[in-house]
Chain A
Amino acid sequence: MKPAPFDYVRPGTLEEALQALAGHPEAKVLAGGQSLVPLLSMRLAAPAVLVDINELPDLDHVRVDAEGVRVGALARHARVLADADVARVQPLVTKALANVAHATIRNRGTTVGSLVHADAAAEMPMVLQLLGGSVDVVGPAGRRTIPVEELYVGPLESSLHHDEIAVEAFFPALAADTGVAFEEIARRHGDYAMCGVAAVVTVDGDRVVAAKAGYLSVSDIPAVVDLTEALGGELRDASLARAAEAALAVLEPETDIHATADYRAHLATVLTARVVTAAYEDARTRAGGSK
């Protein structure tokens, strides 16, 4: 199918873009469009106006410092994925990005766009949630920072106002003695995953002092579960099984054409053990390497 008719503007400044949005409650921002254009073509969305922000200046940055990674609204996934400093300061961003769709999609799609599209089946919203990041938005009232805890309010729904534009995302740096891992299972690499899990594990020697896991495609909004208590400080088959149980108590896997709810629950169980173990090994390696 083809998109329904809409008006189109391609402003050259952020001010013009905000004016265009302010004047049209039915307007939608177009960045990479890799999620939005299919929705338009399938007529699941029919905004009256598209505000194409691709020509806005100074929004394609990827900045890395000791605090973390800042990604501008027009930085394509491919660019963030290729950045060696990103991989050094917050490796989970890089690991997850390698699983975002196919290379061709990553050439056009933007990381910030994916974050505010708020798809619980997507990698980056879950990663932002797991890392406790934030998104900066600009609107008529100026710039504000939305912490991720306040960003995702429902399926495909973020707390951005219709007249605001997301301009930058912030992923905090990896903490000391901490490791990360990411794995997802899809029918074809690059397709939407039936289940995906990321983990952040902090160690003290060979003890686990903190562990969290993020889950995609097994709940309506990006889900993060604290597994520290369930693990009880150590990684054994029994504690990993308890961790998976703790996670499933929170998650709500559903049946769709790609997988049954039972199968998704099974994948979440298997991936929890696998990914928490990998993050633990990663933490041990980093902790050892820094001494």
Chain B
Amino acid sequence: MSENQHEIRLTVNGTDHDVAVPARRLLSDALRHDLGFTGTHVGCEHGVCGACTVLVDGQPMRSCLMFAVSAAGHDITTVEGLARPDGELGPVQQAFRECHGLQCGFCTPGFLTTITAGIAENPEPTEDEARDMIAGNLCRCTGYQNIVKAVCRAAELARDDRAPEGGAA
């Protein structure tokens, strides 16, 4: 049977992509299969694990719990959009590397997007707040200790990033 296709424009990491998808295409699948952003990982596909978390208009959301058609017209940021413009690691990515915040890496994109938004909202998280920030993401390897350290380190790096411009104030 032929399914009705919807012509939509998805804005991913600042670039517009025109794509035709059936209504039932999950945003996670549209990102991975239609647009090739395979950094967004799919774990449980019903909102429990957090691996597929992307930013929608800056807010972390489960891309497996949204349809691509509903995401049209909104700014989507995937893990591919977290690197600096020169290709160097962004603050959260850098912190994960420094703190050994990942092992197999499957859950990591969801953590990186969640924490990126989390430290934008709370630039100086305590360890408890860091745990709360990542409570909706599952990791089977690390035991979370190093991820919590990475949240605090990422916040530090992000503050350092902002310091040069605002330093005189």
**Interface residues of A, Cβ cutoff 8 Å to B:** 1-8, 10, 30, 33-34, 37-38, 40-42, 50, 52, 54, 78, 101-105, 107-108, 188-191
Contact = CB atoms under 8 A, between A and B. Distances in A.
Contacts of A10: 69-70
Contacts of A191: 48
Looking at B46, B67, B114, the one whose CB has the most chain A CB atoms below 10 A away is: B67
Interface in B68-87: 69-70
Contacts of B46: 37-38, 41-42
B21 to A, nearest CB: 10
A7 B45 CA distance: 21
B133 A103 contact: yes
Nearest to B47: A38
Interface of B: 1, 3-4, 6, 22-24, 26, 29, 45-48, 50, 53, 56, 59-62, 64-67, 69-70, 114, 132-133, 135-136
Contact of B67 (A34, A37, A190): A37
Nearest to A40: B24
Contacts of A107: 56, 59-61
23 contacts: A4-B24, A5-B3, A5-B24, A6-B23, A6-B24, A7-B4, A7-B23, A8-B6, A33-B65, A37-B26, A37-B46, A37-B47, A37-B66, A50-B23, A103-B132, A104-B53, A104-B60, A104-B62, A104-B136, A107-B61, A108-B59, A108-B66, A190-B135
A52 B6 CA distance: 14
Contacts of A3: 24, 26
B135 A188 contact: yes
A2 B24 contact: yes
A34 B46 CA distance: 9
B47 A105 contact: yes
B70 A52 contact: yes
Nearest to B114: A104
The 10 closest A-B pairs by CB, nearest first: A102-B136, A8-B23, A38-B46, A3-B24, A107-B59, A37-B65, A104-B60, A108-B61, A104-B136, A5-B3
A280 B6 CA distance: 55
A106 B65 CA distance: 12
B65 A108 contact: yes
Contacts of B66: 33, 37, 108
A104 B70 contact: no
Contacts of B114: 104
Contact of B22 (A5, A104, A108): A5
Looking at B4, B24, B45, B48, the one whose CB has the most chain A CB atoms below 10 A away is: B24
Contacts of A102: 50, 135-136
